[in-house]
């Protein structure tokens, strides 16, 4: 059983000044699954990503990836081990072309720039950005910047992909596309953790969902269980969702 655990988060605590951002948080991600993480603003979702990927060092608690303790490793090391994340606010290399942005990711596993470029083209095809390869990243629309964010992360050849609100602000068609893309990534063998506010997306994508509130886990289970859990409805979904 332990062998199939891709990520184990155990008792994470992170405090900023007097604010408890994450408070004794534990959850796990199984190999090959899509785990949804939801929760109101400020519930600690992004902080959790930052703790896993080494942007912050937890005050307490451990993070284990594929059986190895990775707590407190720097971000580049975490990425090299096989966890890559996207940022909620896209951080493209604005002055560089879309292709060059992706190459920055693919160089990790393909040290030869020519090989990295070839791999970059493949990945742009996967996310549907091939037509914009020569454009400057700063001139992309918000949606395409999100695509690029995912493309760069994919370029690093991760085993575990952490997506931070990739779908915020997308229209229904684009959301459908994004859902299809994420599902196809899982089918290629990736394990995915999705932080998302778009309920329809997270309910249809996730195998399991973890619900955060005020830095701690208040519920965990399959989408159906979550959407009918009274604590979740009160903390997050609102009364309206009960009718759906």
Partner 1 sequence: MSPRTYVPAGFLVFLLVLPHLLPNPFYVHIAVMMAVFAVLGGTWNIIGGYGGQLSLGHAAFFGTGAYVSTLLVNAYGISPWITLWLGGLAALLLSVPVGIICFRLQGPYFAIASIGLAEALRLLVLHFRDITNGAQGLTVPFKGNAPWLLQFDSKFPYYYLALVMAVGVVLIVRRMERSRLGHYLVAIGQNQDAAEALGINSSRAKAKALALSAFLTGVAGVFYAQYTYVIHPDSVFGLGLSIQIALVAIVGGVGTVLGPVLGAVIMEFFIQFTQIAFAGQYPGLELMVYGGLLVAVILWRPRGVIPWFARLYEGLVARLPAARGAQA
Query: What residues make contact with partner 1 under the rule CB under 8 A?
Result: 53, 55, 74-77, 79-80, 84-85, 87, 91-96, 100, 103-105, 107-108, 111-113, 116, 152-153, 155-156
Q: Which of 21, 26, 24 is nearest to 7 (CA)?
A: 26
Residues for the chain: how many in total?
A: 244
Q: Closest distance between partner 1 and the C-beta of residue 131, in Å?
A: 23
Q: Would you say 93 or 241 has its CB closer to partner 1?
A: 93
Please check whether residue 92 is in contact with residue 86, taking contact to mean a CB–CB distance below 8 angstroms: no
The answer to whether 64 and 70 have CB atoms below 8 angstroms apart is yes
Helical (H) or strand (E) element with 37:
strand 34-38
Q: Which residues pair with 121 in a beta bridge?
A: none
* Smaller CB separation from partner 1, 25 or 73: 73
| Least CB distance to partner 1 at residue 156 (A) | 5
Cβ nearer to partner 1, comparing 78 with 179: 78
Closer to partner 1 by Cβ: residue 54 or 215: 54
Tally of CB atoms within 10 A around 156:
21
Question: What's the Rg (C-alpha) of the chain?
Answer: 18
Shortest CB 71 distance to partner 1, Å: 17
Smallest separation, CB 135 to partner 1 (Å): 16
CB 101 within 8 A of CB 115: no
Q: Which is nearer to partner 1, 162 or 211 (CB)?
A: 162
Closest CB 74 distance from partner 1, rounded Å: 7
């Amino acid at each position: 059983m332990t062998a199939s655990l891709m990520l184990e988060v155990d008792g994470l605590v992170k405090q900023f000044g007097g604010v408890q951002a994450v408070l004794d948080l534990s959850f796990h991600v199984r190999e090959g699954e899509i785990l949804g993480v939801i929760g109101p603003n400020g519930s600690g979702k992004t902080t959790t990503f930052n703790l896993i990927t080494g942007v912050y060092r937890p005050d307490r608690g451990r993070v284990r990836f594929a059986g190895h303790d990775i707590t407190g490793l720097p971000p580049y090391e975490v990425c090299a081990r096989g966890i890559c994340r996207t940022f909620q606010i896209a951080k493209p290399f604005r002055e560089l072309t879309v292709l060059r942005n992706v190459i920055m990711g693919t160089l990790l596993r393909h040290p030869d720039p020519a090989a990295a470029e070839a791999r970059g083209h493949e990945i742009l095809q996967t996310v549907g950005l091939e037509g914009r390869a020569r454009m400057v990243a700063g001139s992309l629309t918000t949606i395409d910047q999100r695509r690029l964010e995912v493309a760069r992360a994919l370029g690093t050849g991760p085993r575990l992909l952490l997506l931070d609100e990739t779908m915020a602000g997308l229209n229904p068609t684009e959301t459908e596309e994004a859902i299809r893309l994420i599902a196809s990534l899982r089918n290629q063998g990736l394990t995915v953790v999705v932080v998302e506010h778009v309920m329809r997306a997270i309910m249809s994508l996730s195998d399991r969902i973890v619900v955060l509130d005020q830095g701690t886990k208040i519920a965990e289970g399959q989408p159906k269980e979550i959407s009918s859990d009274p604590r979740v409805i009160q903390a997050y979904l609102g009364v309206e969702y009960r009718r759906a």
